[in-house]
């Protein structure tokens, strides 16, 4: 049960305990406050009393748990939780889905994705996550006024994978765009089938550790392949291993193309197909 709650709420063990305490204490205070209000107005305790009590408790419960969540450090979680609960209760469809882009380099794909969703009312690039303080994607985040997180290796792999930070930004979907670290299992479990990557070659042949950037293009050229391309895939615990979502190819001209010219062809495919594929996947979640 508790494992399911962790995955559903995208939290670690400590925050799960704090959330449960908040529910318990907030509910208890809410019940006492409701009874106190009715006793203050000296309403006779009969069937009408119970009807008014239930209505009163329903109204004040959100305020009670929000107040209790502050000292427990869970205000962001409960704010998001209550918003989603309200949307379900009132059948509000098409709520905004928030994307976090993970990137390690210049960020050309990140920029293209940001541009694609700039005026989209239902999908928003909410956060940039980067592991390289010198990466150009951080300048993009600044210029686009998008919050960013500069992550640290020990925290990322041996703690919660920055789950709490993603939760605080209400992230629904993770997009890897030139992100060179393997994604830890904490994030894979918290975002099942909600983390995708784009690989600058055709998988599974040209994937795995070290197969990125010019390295992968050189490997393709050295193998005298007639085609290369892009692979958009779900992310699992292994490098370049998750189920394929889309592959698009480009031709390689023998004796004319090298790693640099092939990279340009692949970049064209990346910019053309990645953002639209993300949009198609997210529409299925709405």
- Per residue in 189-215, pLDDT tens? 999 999 999 999 999 999 988 898 899
Q: With cut-offs at 50, 70 and 90, classify the pLDDT of residue 91.
A: very low
What per-residue confidence (pLDDT) applies to 111?
97
Cα distance between residue 224 and residue 179, in whole Å: 27
Where on the phi/psi map is residue 181: left (φ > 0), alpha (ψ -120 to 50), or beta? Answer: beta
66/106 same-domain check: no
Q: Catalytic pick from 116, 155, 169, 199?
A: 199
- Model confidence at 51, pLDDT cuts 50, 70, 90, reads confident
Total tally of structural domains belonging to the chain: 2
Look at residue 90 in the predicted model and tell me its pLDDT.
58
Q: Are residues 253 and 113 in the same domain?
A: yes
Q: Which two tokens stand for residue 166?
A: 């993603």
Confidence of residue 89 (pLDDT cuts 50, 70, 90): low
Q: Name the domain boundary from 89, 108, 143.
A: 89
Same domain flag for 135 and 237: yes
**Residue 229 pLDDT > 70, yes or no?**
yes
Task: Give yes or no: residues 200 and 70 share one domain.
Answer: no
Q: Extract the tokens encoding 204.
A: 């599974």
Are residues 10 and 152 part of one domain?
no
- Would you give the end-to-end CA distance of the chain in angstroms? 26
User: Which residue range(s) make up the domain with 57?
Assistant: 2-89
What is the rounded distance in angstroms from the CA atom of residue 69 to the CA atom of residue 257? Answer: 59
The Cα angle at residue 161 between residues 275 and 142, in degrees rounded to 5: 50
Two tokens, residue 190: 């918290």
- Asked whether 266 and 236 are in contact (CB, 8 A), the reply is no
Say whether both 85 and 187 belong to one domain.
Answer: no
pLDDT recorded at residue 37: 84
Residues 107 and 147 in one domain: yes
Last residue of a domain, one of 89, 116, 136: 89
Catalytic residue status for 199: yes
- Same-domain check for residues 128 and 266: yes
* 47 pLDDT higher than 90: no
Does residue 193 share a domain with residue 232? yes
Q: Which range among 55-69, 77-91, 150-164, 174-188 shows the weakest confidence by mean pLDDT?
A: 77-91
pTM: 0.69
250 and 270 in a single domain? The answer is yes
Residues 14, 47: Cα–Cα separation, whole Å: 41
Which has the closest alpha carbon to 282: 87, 169, 154, 126?
126
**Do 85 and 133 share a domain, yes or no?**
no
Regarding whether 252 and 145 lie in a shared domain, the answer is: yes
Q: 40, 64, 89 — which closes off a domain?
A: 89
Residue 87 has pLDDT above 70, yes or no: no
Q: What integer best gives the mean pLDDT of the chain? A: 90
User: What's the burial of 35, exposed, middle or buried (CB within 10 Å: 0-12/13-18/19+)?
Assistant: middle
From 112, 178, 187, select the one nearest 157 (Cα to Cα): 187
pLDDT in tens, 104-115: 999 999 999 999
């Amino acid at each position: 049960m508790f494992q399911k709650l962790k995955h559903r709420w995208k939290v670690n063990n400590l925050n799960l305990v704090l959330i449960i305490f908040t529910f318990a204490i907030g509910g208890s205070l809410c019940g006492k406050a409701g009874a106190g209000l009715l006793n203050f107005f000296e309403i006779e305790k009969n069937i009408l009393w119970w009807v008014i009590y239930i209505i009163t408790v329903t109204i004040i419960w959100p305020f009670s748990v929000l107040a209790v969540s502050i000292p427990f450090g869970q205000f962001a979680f409960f704010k998001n939780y209550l918003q989603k609960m309200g949307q379900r209760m009132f059948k509000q469809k098409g709520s905004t889905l928030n994307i976090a882009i993970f990137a390690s380099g210049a960020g050309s794909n990140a920029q293209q994705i940001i541009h694609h969703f700039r005026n989209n009312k239902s999908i928003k690039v909410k956060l940039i996550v980067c592991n390289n303080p010198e990466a150009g994607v951080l300048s993009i985040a600044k210029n686009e006024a998008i919050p960013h997180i500069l992550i640290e290796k020990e925290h990322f792999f041996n703690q919660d994978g920055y789950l709490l930070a993603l939760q605080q930004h209400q992230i629904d979907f993770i997009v890897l765009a030139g992100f060179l670290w393997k994604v830890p299992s904490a994030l894979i479990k918290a975002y099942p089938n909600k983390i995708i990557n784009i690989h600058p070659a055709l998988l599974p042949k040209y994937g795995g550790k070290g197969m990125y950037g010019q390295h992968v293009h050189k490997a393709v050229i050295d193998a005298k392949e007639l085609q290369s391309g892009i692979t958009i895939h779900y992310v699992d615990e292994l490098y370049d291993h998750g189920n394929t979502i889309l592959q698009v190819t480009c031709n390689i001209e023998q004796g004319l193309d090298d790693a640099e010219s092939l990279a340009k062809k692949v970049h064209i495919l990346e910019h053309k197909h990645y953002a639209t594929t993300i949009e198609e996947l997210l529409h299925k979640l709405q």
